[in-house]
Amino acid sequence: MQNFDLIIVGACSAAAAAAVRAAREGVRIALIERGTIGGTCVNVGCVPSKHLLRAGEIYYYAKHNNFRSITGAENLGLDFRQAIEEKRRLVAELRHDKYEKTLNDIPRLTKFQGSAIFAGPHEISVNGRSIGGEKIIIAGGSSPFIPPIEGIDRVDYLTNVEALQLEELPESMSAVKPASTEAGNSWRRPAARRTPRGWGWKPSALS
């Protein structure tokens, strides 16, 4: 068994902050990630969603402004594919600068790729390999919750993960609370729709 002073499960915002802080004490750290380094915020959360929101906001208000002094608004367009490409580049850049580089620069930190499973109070198993840790931080974040709406299992629904990968602007979309306002605006404004027709906010049973 390979032993460390600290094991951190997840390679995300919380994990990076914990690793940077722990590194000041000179400890040996094992960092375990089963998915993409950076976790939710940079990959499928705050960063891509705010990029889309901002691009849509600028476009929408430029197109629907009340100033006669501003001309040409009717000819404005938004290239959704280009917006997604820009988002992809931004995510890759921030993931590299804020996570990959930060974690690579921490001395005595060893990364493991795979799902962490507790094998004992101070032991984690990753891909069948045992890792010991005096302390263990669980920075496993959260996963999309699929609300128990009748018939949802027969619908081709999107969570934030799939929605933020869309390459084409959908014709219509309904967003379920609690993230409906942000999600709705992320795709409604790039469509420059004044009314939410077809871009509705479906109340959730859990709202």
**Residues contributing to the site for ligand FAD (CB under 6 A):** 9-14, 32-35, 39-41, 45-46, 49-50, 115-116, 139-142, 160
Task: Tell the smallest beta-carbon distance from residue 50 to ligand FAD (Å).
Answer: 6
Q: Choose between 43 and 59: whose C-beta lies nearer to ligand FAD.
A: 43
Q: Choose between 73 and 161: whose C-beta lies nearer to ligand FAD.
A: 161
Q: Choose between 71 and 142: whose C-beta lies nearer to ligand FAD.
A: 142
Q: Choose between 48 and 169: whose C-beta lies nearer to ligand FAD.
A: 48
SS (H, E, C) the chain: CEEEEEEEECCCHHHHHHHHHHHCCCCCEEEEECCCCCHHHHHHCHHHHHHHHHHHHHHHHHHCCCCCCCCCHHHCCCCHHHHHHHHHHHHHHHHHHHHHHHHHCCCCEEEEECCEEEEECCEEEECCEEEEEEEEEECCCCCCCCCCCCCHHHCCCCCHHHHCCCCCCCCCCCEECCCHHHHHHHHHCCCCCCCCCCCCEECCCCC
Task: Tell the smallest beta-carbon distance from residue 68 to ligand FAD (Å).
Answer: 35
Q: Which residue is nearest to ligand FAD (CB)?
A: 141
Task: Tell the smallest beta-carbon distance from residue 70 to ligand FAD (Å).
Answer: 30
